[in-house]
Chain A
């Protein structure tokens, strides 16, 4: 670039600018690649297939992709897959449902009144400091090993991110909007409906994304403890018999469920926060 400028006979200000335009190096990552996100996973799948086909991957360590596919077919045919999937989805849905209601309600009470905050915020922060799974022994003693314990564990895990992020969103509402609400004499109800809830919505939805991930994580744990149904149970059973193909089917299922639920939350996010996106994209 410097050399180009040097060879020029005229030294007007436009000359270096023009030459540098031609030779400017791009430092960013460059243009996006088509189907870029799929390349990595496809590569992984290719390596896996090649490894299994050449026999480099022992069937006992990792089943071949085609074995996994046929096993999936068999599991569907026998109905085992659907039954376990349904049980698992039900547990997460219940846990999420209770957790979201609990987290949102606590966040509202704690965000809208100083007394509420004084009473609620401390215990939630303490609960957050204790690794959630450390509570399991106590939960098992109190609630047994049935469905109630499983759903409760998921609920307790899920409500924390919902609470934290909704509360954060609530407290982050611009005080100027609160002042405005006072000048137009909004009632308490209208204030919550028109200002507080929409203002806290971005925070809530962020919490929701964490909550969904947490929900599946806790499901895996509770299903591998004294369970008699669910994807986790199916995988745990397969471990005892050394059936890596079924374990992989379970992993793929967990992955798909996680991706799907995250996508669903993102879709809701895009719809509900359309006022934010109008200029951005």
Chain B
């Protein structure tokens, strides 16, 4: 169940990571990790805090210049990152935030289209701090998708949103990904979110991929579906969260996450 079907790897992967090792101050965060993501595939990465989820994502985003490590990282040219905070520049209007760094004559129009896509048409001239948290995160999504990324990296993008907004954002992200078809790596600590959104869920533990789960739940995915519940139980088990008390884990130093 947790093995990757061989037939799917015939397509050239969008992301290839081999023997990736990262450590902070002699603490190994990622330990010779291997991972492939196909073009257009939506992968969710689960893991306890300190398991190295963010370290992996930052390595893929090229944001870990100062971290010691080895390994091979092969990512496409167009990579977009969505952070947990929307990271909009407060002194730029919404539209200018979306097209930040874009050049060329079509940029302004693309920015407007992208904003319309996330349901914020007409808010181009607003300042970021005039928007709600959910709206800010939608602008951040528009900013990442206007670049037509081949790889979208999302670091707990809905972690700071309330439950209702989060449900709406799930539907939005899913439809945007269906339309733009980037490869996605979504870091999250929310098992249900991972099952609702992803094609494949990975569990990171001890710096390696400890479990892998293809999500074969019918869409629209409903947590009442027995298959959904089955997968959730399996993933929670892999994360070490079960109904019955577990053997105490080896005390392990927490890492930056």
Contacts and interface: CB of A to CB of B under 8 A. Distances in A.
Interface residues of A, number: 22
A186 B87 contact: no
Nearest to A194: B100
Contacts of B79: 183
Contact of A279 (B62, B87, B130): B130
B181 interface: no
A184 B143 contact: yes
B129 A279 contact: yes
B90 A276 contact: yes
A198 B91 contact: yes
A276 B127 CA distance: 9
A101 interface: no
A272 B80 CA distance: 30
B204 interface: no
Contact of B87 (A176, A185, A201, A274): A176
A199 B91 contact: yes
A275 B90 contact: yes
B63 A183 contact: yes
B92 A184 contact: no
Given A176-B83, A180-B87, A278-B127, A185 B92 contact: no
A276 B83 CA distance: 22
Interface size class, chain B:
20 to 34
Nearest to A201: B91
Interface string A182-195: 11111100100011
Interface in B109-136: 127-130
Given A176-B83, A186-B101, A275-B90, 13 more contacts: A179-B87, A180-B100, A181-B100, A182-B63, A183-B61, A184-B100, A184-B101, A194-B92, A195-B89, A198-B89, A198-B92, A274-B127, A278-B130
B156 interface: no
A177 interface: yes
B85 interface: yes
Contacts of A278: 127, 129-130
Nearest to A174: B87
A184 B89 contact: no
B29 to A, nearest CB: 18
B81 interface: yes
A278 to B, nearest CB: 5
B129 A275 contact: yes
Interface string B51-81: 0000000000111000000000000000111
